[in-house]
Amino acid sequence: MNQTIAYQGVKGAYSEQACKHAYPHMTPLACDTFQEAMWLVEQGDADIAMIPLENSTAGRVEEIYRLIPKMALHVIGEHFEPVIHCLLGIKGAKIEDLKHIASHPQALAQCHNHIMELGLKAEAKLDTAGAAKELNTFNDKQRSAIASKLAAEIYNLEILKEHFEDIQGNTTRFFILSQKKYVPIFNNDKSYITSLIFQVRDIPSALYKALGGFATNGVNLLKIESYMGTSSLEGSQFHVDIDGHIESRALRLALEELAFFAEDVRVLGTYETHRLRKVVS
């Protein structure tokens, strides 16, 4: 049976490229929104979803942090996808022909210096692959787009310059989401991450006390993000990525202490660290 992986964007998006690299045997399903991609997995219409969580240049994806507390899915893995921006034109176009360039605002910002060097007029679009797709409809050698190599292949465009980004090493971290819970068997020779969310209790120094258990048990926090996760403004929710497996003794003790000072503690998942994590960090 053919397995499917849902992502947000049109064909040729960086998310689809990430799907193909991480799960080449699965069929990518394009969705209009992050919520639709996650909903397809919740309903059983897709096996897993590839959802971007943060980017090394642009920071966190705000919408995802609002959706995570509401979802009924489990995090079963992470994926790091290097973002290589390509300057695309129609077949036969040359860089000296160009006058206009279109892409997502973040991609335009990440290629700003090169755009200025070429003296191109930038136009913001909803996404990178959409800009590439639209380029075909103009059939104009003066127009270009910033998108992935995959988008160039799909829409039959010329790659005028690969690595068009100003700073190389730009990487996006994705969550792999599944309807089914999967926790890898604890192996001391492997590295794991446990992701969870919680809301602190309304008491003095609540966050300090909530995190104290990790310090006293020698547990390393890889990341902590705060955001308003409820309908009121009374308390913040926190997303934490922890260096460790949920079955390790140190982490179990730390979570026991966390429960005294936090509420609505929810473990999103435990999974192996991606091979590119140390390279990016």
Render 209-243 in DSSP notation, one character per residue.
HHHHHHHHTTPEEEEEEEE--SSSSS--EEEEEEE
The strand pairing partners of 149, in sequence order, are none
**Tens of pLDDT along 206-247?**
889 889 999 999 999 999 998 765 555 556 789 999 999 999
Mean residue pLDDT of the chain comes to: 92
Amino acid letter, residue 161: K
The set of residues, in sequence order, having a beta carbon less than 8 Å from that of 142 and lying 6+ positions away, is 97, 98, 99, 100
**Tens of pLDDT along 180-213?**
999 999 999 999 999 999 988 877 888 898 899 9
Known catalytic residues? 172, 174
**Tens of pLDDT along 85-141?**
999 999 999 999 999 999 988 899 999 999 999 999 999 998 899 999 999 888 899
Can you list the domains of the chain with their CATH numbers? Answer: 4-82+171-178 (3.40.190.10), 86-162 (3.40.190.10), 192-280 (3.30.70.260)
Element (H, E) at 30: strand 27-31
Element (H, E) at 39: helix 34-42
Buried/exposed code over 122-146 (b: 16+ C-beta within 10 A; e: otherwise): beebebbbbbbbbbeeeeebebbbb
Q: Is the pLDDT of residue 69 over 60?
A: yes
Paired tokens of 3: 């397995």
Q: Is the pLDDT of residue 33 over 90?
A: yes
Q: Is the pLDDT of residue 78 over 80?
A: yes
Amino acid letter, residue 158: E
Task: State the greatest distance between any 2 C-alpha atoms of the chain, in Å, as a whole number.
Answer: 66
Q: Is the pLDDT of residue 265 over 70?
A: yes
pTM given for the model:
0.89
Residue 137, pLDDT score: 87
